[in-house]
Every structure is written in C-alpha cells, then in structure tokens.
Structure 1
Amino acid sequence: MTAPTWDPQQYLRHADHRTRPFHDLLSRIPGTPATIADLGCGAGNVTALLADRWPDARITGFDNSPQMLEQAQRYAGPGLGFAHADAATWTPAVPYDLLVSNALLQWVPGHADRFADWLDGLAPGGTFAFQVPGNFTAPSHTLLAALRESPRWKSRLSGVGDRAGAVLEPAGYLSRLTDLGCTADVWETAYLQLLTGDDPVLDWVKGTALRPVLTALAEDEEAAAAFLTEYRDLLREAYPPGPHGTVFPFRRIFAVARRGNQ
C-alpha cells in the first residue's frame, strides 16, 4: 500500500484541538530530560512545545514525510533539529532521556512490538510517552470504512487506510509496558470538541484519516470529488450541527512509562 501523502497546512487547520492532547501528555512527563526524541514530529509544532518546556535540552524530531519535515524546519534552531526516520524500523542511535510520540503510532502496524527496542534506547530512568487516538469505532471512521468497501469504491479502495485494530486498549498498553519492566501511567480522555464552519468533521478528517484515500485517488480528481461528496453526506447525518457548532467526540489514549534505573 502506498504511504499517504501528508498536507501540513490541512493538518494544521485544527492545530488548537489537535495539540490539546499533547499538552495533557506533556504535563504528566516527569523530570528535566537533557536529550529528547520526538518520533513522528509531523509539522514540528509540538516539537517546538518540547523546546519551550525544556529549553536546554537537545531535541530531534523524526518523521518519514518529506512534506511534514519541510514544514518542521521552520522551528529548527540551537538544540532543536529534524531528521528523516520511519518508526516501523527506527531504533535510537544514542540514549535518550525522553522518547515522545504524538498521534503517530496508529499509523505503525504492530507498534507495540517495537516498545522493547525503543525502551532499550532510553537512558536508565528515561521516559517513553505517547498518545494515540482511540476513536476507530466512531462514525467518522466506520462510515469511511463502509464507503471504501461499498460496490462503487471497493475495487479501488478496499483496505486503503484500514486501521482496524490500529491501537491497543489502555489495559493492553499498560500490560505491554509493565511486562517490559516499566513503571507506567496509562489513561484515556474523551474530548467533546466543538467544531465550526461548513462540514467541519470532513475538514478535520481531510488532515488525517482521509489521507490514504486522497492519496490513492490523487490522479483522478473526478473520483476524489465524488468520494468526498458521498462521505460528506454521511458525515452530515452522523454529526449534525448544533446552535454553537458541531460536536465531535474525540477519544485519546495516553501512556507515560519510565524505565528502571539499571
């Protein structure tokens, strides 16, 4: 399957809502790490938050999207840099005090199997912290999956962007991390986001869940427009606007795991 092409500007259209879970994750990370890896740094805006919190740290943001890395370079400076890496195969080359990942791991099949390698790349007492979406049973995702598998689109889009089982439930992450000898804090939060504008849920998923479909149909503008129209109509029914905007429930799963001192 072709890797999705990312659109940093589309992704950042909802930067306030998208960044809120990272702020909540950041608030639970202990200590003052001197070396930090941000795995899946995207457009670099959350990597910059790490630099704001720990201005003396040496921070590297890693991503496999050229489009995102180009956008991220605007945040580069003393102690803060960016590099290409694929989380499916990346292993820390130097020990880090903190490895953090924001809204990436759902795109990495079998990511929990990589935890041991990543934890081995932490300095003794180091921290591994991440957050992922837990909303794959929400209408935004189930309707998209059903539409991809419908008679009109199945031959072109069957399985494209399928992330059923993309993340573990919180108890699964807790078990994996504690089995690896970590002290782990795992929790979940459902944000009731109030989105505004025309078809705001469609605009939201254009930056994330829809990227594989838009990539697959990139050479056929007519087909892409037709798919978006069908999906838009389904989303309008599932997420009707209210007097103050459209409520979009957004469940996130968080983990902060600390490696032992040995």
Structure 2
Amino acid sequence: MSRLSLAYSPCPNDTFIFGAIAAKLVNLKGMDMDIHLHDVEELNRACRDSRYDVSKISIAALPHLQEKYGLLYSGGALGRGCGPLVVSRPGFDLKDLVSARIAVPGIMTTAYVLVCLFAGQPLKVTPMRFDSIMPSVSRGEYDLGVIIHEGRFTYQGYGLCQLLDLGQWWEQQTGLPIPLGGIAIRRGLGQDLARKVDHLISHSLSLAQKNPRLTENYIKRHAQEMEETVIKQHIELYVNEYTNNIGEEGQRAIKTLLTMGADIGLLPHLQANLMAYP
C-alpha cells in the first residue's frame, strides 16, 4: 500500500473537491492518505521543504518548486471572474499604489504576483494570513489589501470598497482565465503514481458534483463559520470546467502568468515541464 501525504486548504472549493477522498467514499486503489489542511501560503512554504507528497499550491509558487513538484490536471483553481480584489477604506486612490502600505496573503501567492504585474514592478508588501487582511485594512493599519477566497463576497461588511479586480484586469490583458492555484505532486513519486492520484482526485470531484450532500458536512466543518450562502457562492465560483481538467488553455494561462512574473524579476524562469506527466 502506498502511503501519501495529501494537503489542501480548508476553503470550500478544496473541501468540496477532496471531501470524498477524506471520507473514503472513493476507491483509493491501494493508497492510504494522510490528510492535512492549512492556509495556501503555509502549503506553499511547506512544499519548499518537500513536506507533502500531494498539495494544493499557488500557481505563482510553482517556479520556486519546479524541480521537486509538477502539476496535476484536476483539482486546480482557475477561472474567469474569480481573481483577487484590491480593497481599501473609502478615499484611497490607486495612483498611490507604489507608495501604499499593502497587505497580501503571502509572497508566494498568485495574488501578490498579480498586483505587482499591475504595478509593473515588485512592490513592498506585508504578507499575512488571508483572513487577517480585511480587518487590518479596516482598522487603518494598511492602505490596501489584496484579498482572495470568500473575501470578494464579504469585504463590504468591513466598510471597504473595491479599487481593482485583478482577475478582470488579467483577462483584459491576456484574454485567458486567471490561474490561481493547482494540485502539485512530488516528481520523485513517478509519472504512473501521478496519473493514479490525478484520476483519484477527478473521481472525488465527480462524486461531489453529482451529489453535493456527500461532502456538505465536511465542507461546513472546515468553513470557519462562513455563512451558507457564501459557501455556495465560493464553490460555484472556484469549482468549474478548469477544476475538472486544466486543459491546454489553462496551461497557456499558467505559462503566461509565470513568464510575465519572471520578466519583471519577481519569479524564477520556468525550466522544468509544467505538468507532472504528459
């Protein structure tokens, strides 16, 4: 039996995707999974140390991990109309972006790369957990926050206003879906096992899509007191056709983002194959 460590975030889209695996509702085909749930930036950092065999990562983290990890085709977070938002208290102007005090959900996140691409240069920022950003901006500790996940549904409750939709900006610039996150597997495990894990994730996702009630309690348990309507919006937005299969367009979007990030000196150039197997 292969024993693998599997890590993903407690966000509803991830628990929706992996819930059937966690509950052993799918045939694990001789594999045993040690499951870990953490914030995505914590997962990015953990993978730098090869801590997990299979893990959700930010797409922007991949160049830092490319020698150790390759992407799987299923389980990722790409799409349209789902990018990070730049928010502030009323009265701030984006023309002051370069000098602003900016809170981001991590240096290795796609959100950080996107706001720097918009600015055309690396920005001085403060990384923090994604769920600390809106309260910090609301208290005036930072001028701007780059928010992700369910923040796009809840920022107004903190008295904040949207200055920029980075996903919309990205789509206008490139015509491509925004590549936020993906599922990475250690290259050392081999391509055959990578295929097997990919099929397993795809099966878990398919089960949840056919019968959402199967994973409902698991999702709610990890949703950090999120309102049910927000959970539903979250899943509907971040689980889409690209979650089933990144596809050629998704791969093109990822390569475009990473190339643009490297061109402004923000990311290492991508040298290895993007995917874990052909």
TM interval, shorter chain, is 0.3 to 0.5
User: How does the TM-score come out when normalised to structure 2?
Assistant: 0.33
Structure with more of its chain in helix, by fraction: 2
Structure with more of its chain in strand, by fraction: 1
The answer to which structure, 1 or 2, has the higher relative contact order (CA under 8 A, 6+ apart) is 2
